[in-house]
Each structure stands twice: as C-alpha cells, then as structure tokens.
Structure 1
Amino acid sequence: MTLEILKTKEALRNLIDDYASLGDEKKISEQMDLFTSDLTYKVFMEGNLVADVSGREKMERDFNLHSSQVKTYFTLNGQHFVTINEGTATGISFSQIKMIRKADGKDILTDYSVKYEDFYIHQNEKWFIKDRIAHFLIVESKTIAND
C-alpha cells in the first residue's frame, strides 16, 4: 500500500467522521460543505425508500428541519471500507446514531444502526461526498428519564 493510498484513506475517514461530528453539533451548513452541490442522498428503512434528496440546498433544508426536532444527537462511527480510483472512491461505513426527541413531555431515545454506501469525488485538492445511500438496518426507541 502506497503512502498516497494511506493519505486518501485517512482523508475519506476524516470526511465521514466530520459528517457525523458536524451533525451531532447541528452545524448543518458546515456539514453541507462536505458534499458536492449536485449530491444525491437516499434513505432506506426496512428496505423501503423513505427519502430521496438531490442537491445541497434541498438537503440543507431537510437536515435543518430534522435537527430542529431533535434535542440531542450522538454518533459513533465504526468500520469504513473504501475502494479508491483516480479522483473517485466508493465506501461503505457503519454508524450507531442516537437521537433524543421530546414527545408528550417525555424524552424519547431512538437508536439507529446505519450502513452507508458512498461515492466520493476529489475536487480542488479535497474529497467530497457525491452520493450517499443510508440503510437504517435496526431502529429501536424507548422513553428515557427526564433530568
């Protein structure tokens, strides 16, 4: 494995970690900077397509709406596998996402186990996510004690 491939793998790993960290902090505008302007983002739950967004502006609106309904996010990234080509790459990554929302005066914790399929593009000396497919494989919700 060459030094260049190792640097690319690190840059791509940083990209998905930045995506998670910025989302957890609700820094949606900065999170959108990780994507190409012509991005596509699809979400599947139980094998069914539940969201299909094209373009950074539409995605930013959708993410802002979603984050306004969430008190707290916490994301933990796991495995990340990439295949690198010249100027492009594909990747599969796994994340555990926890979200706390308020419903009927109670805090509801929803725990998501997610597999992402990504297509990355290298532009202007930087890697971006062009296409992302999120497969929400396990979804669990429960009421938690309010502090």
Structure 2
Amino acid sequence: MDFRMQDRMELKTLVDFYATESDKNNQDCYVEIFRPDIKLNVYFGGKLGMSATDVQDMIRQYKAFGAAKVSFHMNGQQNVDFIDENNATGTCYALATLVTEQDGKDVLTTHAVRYYDKYVKIDGRWWIAEREQHFEWSTNQTLG
C-alpha cells in the first residue's frame, strides 16, 4: 500500500481515537495521542481561552472543565498535507455535543470545532505534536 494511504488511515484513526475516548471522559489516554511536549491553543469565538505546552498540563486543564453527563463527538472530514514521510499537517472538522446539568435541568450544548494539527511520525508511529482547537460556534438548549 502507498505509504500516504496507510499514513492517512493512521492519522484518521488517531483523531477518531481522541473523539471516542473524549466521549468516555478518558483524558488520561491523551498521552497515547499527543506528544509529551504538545503545543496546544484552544480558541473560543476567535479568542484564546486555553493553552498548554505539555500533555500532563493539557489533561489537567481538560479535566477541570468537568465531565458531561453524556457526550457525543463526531468527526467529519479530515484534510492532510504531507511535508515529508514523518511530518504532516491536517485539519479535522467535528461536532461535539454535551449534556450537562444547569440549575437542575439537562442542557444540550453543541459545538462546531475545527482542529488544526501538526503530526509527527516517530519510530513508525504518528502523534499530534501541535494543535489549534477552534470552537467556531456553540448552541445551547434545555432538554425536556
């Protein structure tokens, strides 16, 4: 198989693993996805809202948001550009839906998220080395 096709499949698996484990509220698995020296910036409506320069700090900050009662992350298209055999950039589009409790009522929040990633392949394995996470828009509605 063409290395690019195999690499594309591995990169898609990497970002999908992030989504499925996030649904399980398993931020500890991020050490299997992101480089230890990850450079992360999270933007809400174009404004920087969170930043981390190592994976343990990233995990701590995500855990501080608190767990949703239910969450559902769905990845859409992923565009990948290879710089060379061990470096690539990519954009992944996602919808993240979360059910949280506010004032005794369940609230459904939907986020449209765009991830701008830099990937690195080390010892035959892909990692996310840098991520810009953009929450493009969000909606809330009270359930039942």
TM over 0.5: yes
TM-score bracket relative to the smaller structure: over 0.9
CA distance in 2, matches of 1:33, 1:64: 16
Q: For structure 2, list consecutive stretches of 5 or more residues without a partner in the other structure.
A: none
Matching of residue 47 in structure 1 with residue 46 in structure 2: yes
Residues 82-121 of structure 1 aligned to structure 2 (within 5 Å)? 82-84=80-82, 85-121=84-120
CA distance in 1, matches of 2:11, 2:114: 16
Flag as ranges the 4+ runs of structure 1 deviating above 4 A. Answer: none
SS in 2 for 1:61: helix
Q: Is the Cα contact below 8 Å between 1:91 and 1:118 reproduced in 2?
A: yes
CA distance in 1, matches of 2:137, 2:62: 21
Q: What's the counterpart of residue 19 of structure 1?
A: 18
Q: Is the Cα contact below 8 Å between 2:34 and 2:127 reproduced in 1?
A: yes
CA distance in 1, matches of 2:98, 2:40: 20
Please give the root-mean-square deviation of Cα atoms over the aligned residues, in Å.
1.2
Q: Is the Cα contact below 8 Å between 1:18 and 1:31 reproduced in 2?
A: no
Q: Which string of whole-angstrom CA distances, capped at 9 and with x for unpartnered residues, describes residues 94-114 of structure 1?
A: 000001111111111110001
> AA paired with 1:129?
I
TM-score (norm 2): 0.94
CA distance in 1, matches of 2:130, 2:26: 20
Q: Which string of whole-angstrom CA distances, capped at 9 and with x for unpartnered residues, describes residues 28-77 of structure 1?
A: 111332000000111111111111111011011112222x3421110110
TM-score (norm 1): 0.93
Identity %: 27
Q: What's the counterpart of residue 9 of structure 1?
A: 8
Q: What's the counterpart of residue 135 of structure 1?
A: 134
